[in-house]
Amino acid sequence: MRIALDAMGGDRGPELLIQGALSALRENSNFDIVLLGPEDYLRKHLAEQAIDPVFSDRLSIEHAPEIISMHETPVEAVRRKKNSTIMVGFDLVRNGRADAVVSAGNSGATMASAVRKLGRLKGISRPGIASLFPTLKNPVMIMDIGANVDCRPQHLVQFAIMASSCISKVLKISSPRVGLLSIGEEAGKGNALVKETHELLSASNLNFIGNVEGRDVYQGDVDVIVCDGFVGNVSLKVSEGLADAAMQMLKTEIRKSIRARLGYLLIRNAFASFRKRVDYEEYGGAPLLGINGVGIICHGKSNAPAIKNAILVAENMVRNKVNESIVETLKVNPTVNMDQG
Amino acid sequence: MRIALDAMGGDRGPELLIQGALSALRENSNFDIVLLGPEDYLRKHLAEQAIDPVFSDRLSIEHAPEIISMHETPVEAVRRKKNSTIMVGFDLVRNGRADAVVSAGNSGATMASAVRKLGRLKGISRPGIASLFPTLKNPVMIMDIGANVDCRPQHLVQFAIMASSCISKVLKISSPRVGLLSIGEEAGKGNALVKETHELLSASNLNFIGNVEGRDVYQGDVDVIVCDGFVGNVSLKVSEGLADAAMQMLKTEIRKSIRARLGYLLIRNAFASFRKRVDYEEYGGAPLLGINGVGIICHGKSNAPAIKNAILVAENMVRNKVNESIVETLKVNPTVNMDQG
């Protein structure tokens, strides 16, 4: 198995991405890694790090001279920059020279590039982005978190099928509980999209447990939460923003008294464990689901452990044939084939 | 001025609501309070509390024998229970015998009752619910947080006008900064609703600062955030859920070591101040905006300080003539009169 890593993606530069790659190689001997980027530039970076030959043998470079920056318009950038890291990466997958692409770069461009190079899975109208969120119990997979901002009910049912197949394979959950994000638990609550989706999901063979509310996201009593990409993205970013702001407010309060500062010294480790538990970086990137291949996008701010985890998720998805499972589940849920728009 | 309080609303019973009323009377001598509920029942509750005559003179009861429970369907309940606390309250406002209604009961029924008894403000298609959220700086008013789940762009512009007028009067902010909740800062980012709304808000005379993202909600760099009621409600509940879950996770981590437990004892006060700062209860209820009168809904779990604050917000809105300001702002923003649907 070969996993291609966009070595130029993200806000923090290639060193950190290479460190993540090395950690992944160290942890799992199942695959090799192809670094995507300008060859000379990457070769210099690799030379600066004293890499054990055991690992350097499993590490190669695929020359990709162009970089799509975070602020470029995805569709345009993908059209113009044919030699960009992301495009070259999905080309490798198309040609059978790699099995997956991991990128912390422009996520819209990564999605556009994946669809362009690999196409969609048979029966899928709209590929989307799934993400694992930490909860009080097991993580929950939310889909879509930003690829599809205007959705029809059939799209949400397809998200449910894709995320359900993915989490079932990746986290070994048989019959994952699927919830529909709404503003009340009763079937009649929600907007027009949610009400129609509720009917379709009830008729599917998924383990649909009904509507869930925003406050259920972090409780861990549901394995998959389905929503349109606008609502999913807002929920993700509201959560990130609240976590940051709460931490800042708490620190301000602590700084006000010597007693509290002393207390903080004693409590620091518990804080660190807590932060680790809620840190999206521990959850290893967000799979693009619905494309005919495996692609994982990471937060632009990802650190080395986050990149390592994303690579391991990619390996897991390839090994467990998540896409085959999605196609199988689609076949037994004919309602979703009504719409290929 | 007379403010009517639904003494039967909420999950915690009338004692607590009456305590909130007394605190409000103590803090502000500008108004009297009318308690809404079964007369004998409330009279007994009042007798049990030794109330200073200074305050009992400012406290009366309006008999309302029926109660709309939290789980009744709003429109139906309002049609059937004409003598419910909420309906009787808005009747008082319609007849000039009260200036505002505060309720911690069924919020959908409170909205339906307000619209039925008082009607909408001239020019407003859809009344909605606004709510103040704590931030790192001043609170931000988000509208709509749940009354209107399927919106058109004109509705969102009206929410912007209403929330802007309200926060400007209530918190004395001249020219409040208005942001549109989306999934990217650029004007082209968002779903179809947001893109069209962006154009209309840009053409308005509001202080529109463009799109804001979920992570901006708690930063305090915007005074009003506009969104449809589905997205607003999910954001509110995701935030509540995350705050609860984070606190639970942190406590679990702290319990694991004696050192951390000791630290917690020292840090406890800082925690309490922090919790107070992010507590919705401190923010005194959510105004119903767009109705021809003043109505405030409170969380079903509201404690006495939350009820007190809600009553004080009602007093503030009446005194500062928020509704007149909304009507004036509507007049100079003709784009929003295109649609009265």
pLDDT digits (tens, 9 = 90+) for A16-58: 999 999 999 999 999 999 999 999 999 999 998 888 888 999 9
The verdict on A296 and A277 lying in the same domain is no
What's the pLDDT at A255?
87
pLDDT tens track for A277-298: 766 666 678 999 999 999 999 9
- Kindly report the backbone phi and psi dihedral angles of residue B264, in degrees, each rounded to the nearest multiple of 5, phi listed first: -60, -40
pLDDT one digit per residue (tens) for chain A, 341 residues: 999 999 999 888 899 999 999 999 999 999 999 999 999 999 999 998 888 888 999 999 999 999 999 889 999 999 999 999 999 999 999 999 999 999 999 999 999 999 999 999 999 999 999 999 889 999 999 999 999 999 999 999 999 999 999 999 999 999 999 999 999 998 889 999 999 999 999 999 999 999 999 999 999 999 999 999 999 999 999 998 988 888 888 888 888 888 888 888 888 887 787 777 766 666 678 999 999 999 999 988 888 999 999 999 999 999 999 999 999 999 988 655 554 44
What's the pLDDT at A54?
87
A329 found inside a domain: no
The sheet that has B294-297: what strands, in order across it? Answer: B59-63, B32-37, B2-6, B100-103, B294-297, B286-289, B128-133, B140-143, B224-226, B177-182, B207-213
Q: Is B238 within 8 Å of A237 when comparing Cβ atoms? A: no
A333 found inside a domain: no
The verdict on B120 and B133 lying in the same domain is no
Question: B217 contacts in A (CB within 8 Å)?
Answer: 238, 241-242
- Where residue B273 sits, what CATH number does that domain have? 3.40.718.10
What's the pLDDT at B340?
44
Averaged in consecutive runs of 10 residues, what is the pLDDT profile of chain B (341 residues)? 96 92 96 98 91 91 96 92 97 98 95 97 95 91 95 97 97 97 92 96 96 95 98 93 86 86 85 73 84 95 92 97 96 63 40
Q: Is B233 within 8 Å of A214 when comparing Cβ atoms? A: yes
What's the pLDDT at B280?
61
What's the pLDDT at B50?
83
A171 found inside a domain: yes
The verdict on B117 and B40 lying in the same domain is yes
What's the pLDDT at A340?
44
Whether residue A144 has a cis bond before it, omega within 30° of 0: yes
The verdict on A65 and A174 lying in the same domain is no
Cα dihedral A245, A251, A255, A258, rounded to 10, equals 150
- Kindly report the backbone phi and psi dihedral angles of residue B68, in degrees, each rounded to the nearest multiple of 5, phi listed first: -95, 120
Distance CA B203, CA B200 (A): 5
Q: Is A214 within 8 Å of B230 when comparing Cβ atoms? A: no
The verdict on A130 and A277 lying in the same domain is yes
The verdict on B163 and B203 lying in the same domain is yes
Q: Cα A223–A226–A227 angle (5° rounding)?
A: 150
Number of domains in chain B: 2
Structural domain span for residue B6: 1-124+290-322
Inter-CA distances, B334 with B132, B138, B339, Å = 27, 30, 10
B12 found inside a domain: yes
What's the pLDDT at A253?
84
Distance CA B316, CA B170 (A): 6
CA A54, chain centre distance (Å): 29
Side-chain-facing half-sphere of B340: CA atoms under 13 Å: 7
B327 found inside a domain: no
The verdict on B82 and B112 lying in the same domain is yes
A340 found inside a domain: no
Complete DSSP assignment for B42-103: HHHHHHHS---HHHHTTEEEEE--B---TTS-HHHHHHH-TTBHHHHHHHHHHTTS-SEEEE
The verdict on B134 and B117 lying in the same domain is no
Cross-strand partners of B211: B180
A337 found inside a domain: no
Q: How far is B207 from chain A (nearest CA, A)?
A: 23
What's the pLDDT at B336?
53
- Kindly report the backbone phi and psi dihedral angles of residue A36, in degrees, each rounded to the nearest multiple of 5, phi listed first: -105, 125
The verdict on B61 and B14 lying in the same domain is yes
Q: Is B263 within 8 Å of A267 when comparing Cβ atoms? A: yes
Distance CA A336, CA A123 (A): 8
DSSP A84: B
The verdict on A316 and A214 lying in the same domain is no
The structure's pTM equals 0.93
Sign of CA dihedral A73, A74, A76, A82: positive
Q: Please identify which residue in the block is written with the tokens 């009340």.
A: A184
The verdict on B175 and B242 lying in the same domain is yes
Question: A76 contacts in B (CB within 8 Å)?
Answer: none
A328 found inside a domain: no
Question: B225 contacts in A (CB within 8 Å)?
Answer: none
Last residue of some domain: A230, A261, A282?
Answer: A282
The verdict on A145 and A267 lying in the same domain is yes
Question: A256 contacts in B (CB within 8 Å)?
Answer: 270, 273
The rounded radius of gyration (Å) of the Cα atoms in chain B is: 21
